[in-house]
Amino acid sequence: MSTLDSLSLTRIPAQDEALRAEVRAFLAQATRDMPAHVRARSWGGYSTQFSRELGARGWIGLTLPVAYGGAGRSAFARYVLVEECLNFGAPVGSHWIADRQSAPLILKYGTEAQKQFYVPRVCRGEAFFCIGMSEPNAGSDLASVKTRAVPNARGFVLNGQKIWTTNAHHCEYMIALVRTSGTSEDRHKGLSQVIVDLSLPGVTVRPIEDLSGDSHFCEVFFDNVQLGPDVLIGAEGQGWEQVTAELAFERSGPERLFSSIVLFDQWLDYVRTPQGRTDSAVQLAGKVLTQLAPLRAMSVAVQEKLTRGESPIVEAALVKELGTTLEQMIPAAIAEDLFARDAEDLPVELLMTLKYVTEASPAFSLRGGTRDILRGMIARGLGLR
Ligand SMILES: Cc1cc2nc3c(=O)[nH]c(=O)nc-3n(C[C@H](O)[C@H](O)[C@H](O)COP(=O)(O)OP(=O)(O)OC[C@H]3O[C@@H](n4cnc5c(N)ncnc54)[C@H](O)[C@@H]3O)c2cc1C
């Protein structure tokens, strides 16, 4: 039984719910040989082969127009697919960003040539993108980015550095937020988004190892990289507005609720056994579900607003702040539960999964915007800032 089966407080239309069984059958097969501590990497797990298999089924770019290689389905169908991928711990990392952000961004603001060149390959799982927003001194204060693209006869010359760029070492392309005019003091003015081919001369990508020993994010250096004339997405100087709208998509999805779900399900399996069942564990299971069910309903409600073309920035911040708090509570509470027991009785795979999620969990409330920044945005929604 999946935890998702207990969470029915949503209004996902029946025709989109109908996709769930087919997706589950595929994922059960695709992840059958992956132990839980590997599946616990969730959307950090990486397999180009898995992405291509998903692409062959039409499950990348599910909401994108058929004319560009997508499946033309609703955002709710994608929600079902994404939830199931997260619940199985499928290795979605390679196509994740291109599917969620880059291809929709190109479709919304890009030129016809950009749409035709990039989007069908994204949908086939053949072109992977990373997000180049953060810099060493521009994380929360994103408007102070210094990486600069200067126009020249052949297009733009790019100089600067990005950091914490997830999967830059595996991706073909980065969509980078860069300064195309003015100075850092101009803040939001003069910023643009450009597509950077990461195989170009002058690009250096250096992976960074995290606490768990994984190397999923990178430093990326640009040293006089000659970009073509067709790299701008949208109008010059519109980067800030585009990035802000993109972040609402990044912050409200099921990936902000389910990062610890593989661990939770593993632990539930143990609690269902005679030696695993205790009163306090049963209480904890109820507590987690009490928080997960309304959160999922909130996340689906934000999805509805996005589908209507609205930009629910404060609502998305609420989902991320509450969701990542729960994602971090789960490993801490499970550790407390397990460490109160006799160590010899504990399943090793469960402990390995707990170890990984515990090490990964500090990042849950950093990636995509920190807790402090989200709380500031929520306060702004109350007219306090
Ligand atoms: C796993 C992971 C993956 C990531 N992937 C990407 C990626 O693919 N692409 C990308 O561009 N970035 C990525 N990031 C970077 C992430 O977006 C930044 O780490 C985040 O925005 C915070 O920026 P910073 O690290 O510079 O910290 P800082 O902005 O220096 O913040 C340090 C601390 O100060 C607090 N703080 C800062 N400003 C304020 C304020 N005004 N009020 C109150 N408190 C404040 C912050 O909350 C934080 O606790 C990733 C990060 C992680 C952890």
Neighbours of 120 (CB within 10 A): 18
Q: Report whether residue 217 contacts ligand 1, using a CB cutoff of 6 Å.
A: yes
Which value, in Å, is the radius of gyration of the alpha carbons in the chain? 21
CA distance 241 to 188: 8
Residue with tokens 């450009």: 194
Q: State the pLDDT confidence band at 9, using cuts at 50, 70 and 90.
A: low
Q: Which atom of ligand 1 is nearest to the CA of 97?
A: 8
Nearest CA to ligand 1 atom 32: 140
If one residue of 370, 371, 374 were mutated to test the ligand 1 pocket, choosing by the most ligand atoms within 8 A of its CB, it would be 370
Q: Are 316 and 298 in contact (CB under 8 A)?
A: no
pLDDT tens digits, residue range 244-300? 877 777 777 888 899 999 999 999 999 999 999 999 999 999 999 999 999 999 999
Neighbours of 329 (CB within 10 A): 16
Torsion angles phi and psi, residue 51, rounded to 5: -60, -40
CATH code reported for the domain at 131-238: 2.40.110.10
Domain 3-127 = CATH 3.40.50.10800: no
DSSP assigned state of 153: T
Q: Report whether residue 102 contacts ligand 1, using a CB cutoff of 6 Å.
A: no
pLDDT at 160 over 90: yes
Q: Mean pLDDT across the stretch 123-144?
A: 95
CA 134 to ligand 1 center in whole angstroms: 8
In the chain, where are the structural domains located? 3-127, 131-238, 253-381
Q: Report whether residue 131 contacts ligand 1, using a CB cutoff of 6 Å.
A: yes
Instruction: Indicate left, alpha or beta for 368 from its phi (over 0: left) and psi (-120 to 50: alpha).
Output: left
Sign (positive/negative) of CA torsion 13, 15, 21, 22?
Answer: negative
CA 370 to ligand 1 center in whole angstroms: 6
Q: What is the mean pLDDT of the chain?
A: 94
Query: Quick one: what percent of the chain has pLDDT higher than 70?
Result: 98
CA 310 to ligand 1 center in whole angstroms: 26
Which homologous superfamily does the CATH classification assign to the domain defined by 253-381?
A: Butyryl-CoA Dehydrogenase, subunit A, domain 3 (1.20.140.10)
Using CB atoms within 10 Å of the CB of residue 382, give its burial: 0 to 12 exposed, 13 to 18 middle, 19+ buried. exposed
- Tokens coding 243: 């990035």
Using CB atoms within 10 Å of the CB of residue 151, give its burial: 0 to 12 exposed, 13 to 18 middle, 19+ buried. middle
pLDDT at 373 over 80: yes
Torsion angles phi and psi, residue 95, rounded to 5: -95, -5
Q: Report whether residue 15 contacts ligand 1, using a CB cutoff of 6 Å.
A: no
Q: Which atom of ligand 1 is nearest to the CA of 138?
A: 26
CA distance 34 to 30: 9
Residue 378: what pLDDT? 93
More confident residue, 12 or 264: 264
Torsion angles phi and psi, residue 308, rounded to 5: -80, 5
Catalytic residue numbers, as ranges? 250
Nearest CA to ligand 1 atom 38: 140
Q: Which atom of ligand 1 is nearest to the CA of 130?
A: 8
Of 82, 80, 81, 88, the closest CA to residue 34 belongs to 88
pLDDT at 17 over 90: yes
Of 234, 249, 194, the closest CA to residue 110 belongs to 234
Residue 311: what pLDDT? 79
pLDDT tens digits, residue range 206-216? 999 999 899 99
Buried/exposed 83-117: b ≥16 CB within 10 Å, e otherwise: bbbbbbbbbbbbbbbbbbbbbbbbbebbeeebbee
Q: Mean pLDDT across the stretch 95-115?
A: 96
Task: Tell me if residue 46 falls in helix, strand or coil.
Answer: strand
pLDDT at 193 over 70: yes
Q: Which atom of ligand 1 is nearest to the CA of 366?
A: 53
Neighbours of 265 (CB within 10 A): 20
Q: Mean pLDDT across the stretch 197-207?
A: 98
